[in-house]
């Protein structure tokens, strides 16, 4: 009878240790996932901020080109049309390039 009781206690202890080990593993994985999500969120925030700054910079560059072109042509409307068509061509070529890159296997 004592052997049976000791065996039940040993199996119970083993199951508790296994449960504790599993709980520990889940905690560790949860910490890793939280850390990865935190880093990803920080990366996305910095990336979005840099994209906004890059957009503002490109806007100033384009405005500077427009002003120089308008001064050279002496017509703001013609300079606006030229800049618009050039930017449209750049956008179309970028879209075609992106589509070809996405369709690759």
Q: What is the pLDDT of residues 66-90, one digit of tens each?
A: 888 888 988 878 888 888 898 899 8
Query: So what's the pLDDT on residue 92?
Result: 92
d(C-alpha 91, C-alpha 93), whole Å: 6
pLDDT at 31 over 90: yes
Longest dimension (CA), the chain: 107
Query: So what's the pLDDT on residue 56?
Result: 92
The whole-model pTM stands at 0.59
Average pLDDT over residues 32-36: 92
d(C-alpha 32, C-alpha 15), whole Å: 26
Q: What percent of the chain has a predicted confidence (pLDDT) above 90?
A: 32
Average pLDDT over the chain reads 86
pLDDT at 40 over 80: yes
């Amino acid at each position: 009878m004592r052997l049976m009781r000791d065996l039940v206690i040993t199996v119970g202890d083993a199951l508790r240790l296994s449960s504790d080990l599993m709980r520990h593993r889940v905690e560790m994985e949860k910490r890793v996932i939280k850390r990865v999500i935190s880093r990803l969120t920080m990366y996305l925030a910095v990336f979005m901020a840099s994209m906004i700054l890059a957009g503002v910079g490109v806007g100033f560059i384009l405005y500077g080109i427009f002003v120089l072109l308008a001064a050279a042509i002496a017509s703001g409307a013609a300079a606006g049309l030229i800049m618009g068509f050039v930017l449209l061509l750049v956008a179309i070529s970028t879209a075609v390039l992106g589509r070809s890159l996405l369709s690759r296997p």
